[in-house]
Amino acid sequence: MTRRMPKGGGRVGDVSPPSISTRLLELVLPPSLRDAFVGDLIEELRRRQASEVGSSPTRWYRRQVLRSIGPMAWRRLNASAVAQTALSTGAGFAAGWAWLWLLNQPLILGPVFRLPGSSLAIVLVLLEASPYLIAGLAVGLLATAKPLLAVLATGALVWAWPLLRAWWSTGELHAPGGLWSAVMILACLLLGVWIIQLVRRRLSA
Partner 1 sequence: MRKRSSLGEFELLVLATIVRLGDRAYGAEIFRELEEQTGRDIAMGAVYTTLYRLEEKGLLSSEVGEATPVRGGRARRYFSIEGAGVEAVRRSVQALGALIGDTHLGWGTT
Residue (37 or 194) nearer to partner 1, CB: 37
DSSP for 90-131, written as a single string: HHHHHHHHHHHHHHTSHHHHTGGGGS-HHHHHHHHHHHHHHH
Closest by CA to 57, choosing from 69, 65, 67, 47, is 47
- DSSP-derived secondary structure letter, 11: B
Nearer to partner 1, 71 or 162 (CB): 71
Does 135 interact with partner 1 (rule: CB under 8 A)? no
Taking the complex as a whole, the smallest distance from the CB of residue 74 to partner 1 amounts, in Å, to 8
Say whether residue 75 binds partner 1 (CB under 8 A): yes
**Residue 71 binding partner 1, by CB under 8 A:** yes
CA distances 80 to 14, 68, 84, 200, Å, are: 38, 19, 6, 21
Q: Would you count residue 109 as binding partner 1 (CB under 8 A)?
A: no
Q: Which is nearer to partner 1, 26 or 126 (CB)?
A: 26
Q: Which residues contact 96 (CB under 8 A, 6 or more apart)?
A: 131, 132, 134, 135, 138, 154, 158
Which CB atom, from 9 or from 30, has the smaller least distance to partner 1?
A: 30
Please tell me whether residue 161 binds partner 1 under the rule CB under 8 A. Answer: no
CB of 50 to partner 1, least distance (A): 10
Question: Can residue 27 be called a binding residue for partner 1 (CB under 8 A)?
Answer: no
CB 90 within 8 A of CB 47: no
CB atoms within 10 A of CB 28: 18
- The CA distance from 143 to 136, in Å, is 10
Q: Binding of partner 1 at residue 189 (CB under 8 A)?
A: no
Q: Looking at beta carbons only, is 23 or 165 nearer to partner 1?
A: 23
For the CB of residue 36, give the shortest distance to partner 1 in the complex, in Å: 4
* Choices 42-50, 158-166, 169-177, 189-197; region in contact with partner 1 by CB under 8 A: 42-50
Q: Which of 56, 59, 68, 159 binds partner 1 (CB under 8 A)?
A: 68
Q: What are the beta bridge partners of residue 163?
A: none
Positions in the binding site for partner 1 (CB under 8 A)? 17, 30, 33, 35-44, 46-47, 64, 67-72, 75
